[in-house]
Amino acid sequence: MSWCTIESNPGVFTELIQQMHVKGAQVEELYSLDLDSLDSLRPVYGLVFLFKWRPEEKDERVVITDPNPNLFFARQVINNACASQAILSILMNCPDMDIGPELSKLKEFTKNFPPELKGLAINNCEAIRAAHNSFARLGPFVPEEQKAASEEDDVYHFISYLPVDGVLYELDGLKEGPISLGQCTGGHGDMDWLLMVQPVIQERIERHSNSEIRFNLLAIVKNRKEMYTAELKELQKRRERILQQLAAFQAERLVDNGNYESLNKSMSEVNAAIESATEKILMEEEKFKKWRTENIRRKHNYIPFLFNFLKILAEKKQLKPLIEKAKQKTSASK
């Protein structure tokens, strides 16, 4: 069975990794490469960059043919799988992430495989392929996963950027091996590697900006709701401690004490932080609800509805007049 093309969308990719039973992660879209945008998403496990693939473009950079054994790198040996493969390149290189039983078994099984065999193993993994193809758009004639791109079609490609063992890598399944972008200190939670990758992606965008504006940058990050929930619990514990201290001051009639005023100020700050964290949790819940609705619509087969709608119009003698009206409108606009 082949693989379908899927939309580059944070809601799609978040559900995709959830279907692979990965826990504690989600995908966010980046609209800017400025440092504030990157900093607001930390910890960032990796970046996925989408661009228009140009077969004539040459890349003279040296690829690593004998990479770090801790680095998972797979060649892309199947069409249309580059989106899932770019995501897997990040998930499989995050030892602190719970990637679930299926990906854990795949990672262990392929740890001594060369990149080509790793790519074949991904292709043969039914769980990954089923999760990927669940986003196939249902068409009236030919299933999308069976369509091959023609020479006139635009072809887009996904590559990954992430730090592994103190080195920043570019992972492109169409290349023979990974590309080292240099040494970087810190890990996924630090800004160091993001500062390094920022000019690399910016240069790639500027190189094609005269003829191409369709780029997409996605970040695989820690689940935001889980982060804000943990933050909220800590703030609530801190508020309880302050309340106990304030109660002790009141019991000893030391309300004029400078420490009492300081505690009151701290209480106001904690309450404001609790309100902010609660709002962020609600925003995340609303965002995931929106993503679920959009994904249901993406996967729904509207063909039977449209067929029956046209059939009813025809039975009521309304279809032909509508077609003629549409033709007249088209002719008038030319």
Cβ atoms within 10 Å of 31's Cβ, excluding its own? 8
- pLDDT tens sequence across 265-296: 999 999 999 999 999 999 999 999 999 999 99
How many angstroms from the chain centroid is the CA of residue 246? 45
| Residue 120 CA neighbour count, 13 Å, CB half | 5
- pLDDT tens sequence across 46-70: 999 998 877 667 788 899 988 788 9
- Per-residue pLDDT, 97: 94
Catalytic residue among 4, 82, 125, 184: 82
Distance CA(46)–CA(117), nearest Å, equals 23
Strand order in the sheet with 179-183: 25-30, 216-222, 44-52, 156-164, 167-171, 179-183
Beta carbons within 8 Å of 292's beta carbon, 6+ residues apart = 11, 15
Q: Is 188 a catalytic residue?
A: no
- Per-residue pLDDT, 144: 47
- pLDDT tens sequence across 228-274: 999 999 999 999 999 998 888 777 766 566 787 888 899 999 999 99
Q: Is 82 a catalytic residue?
A: yes
pTM: 0.86
Closest CA to 145 of 159, 130, 124: 130
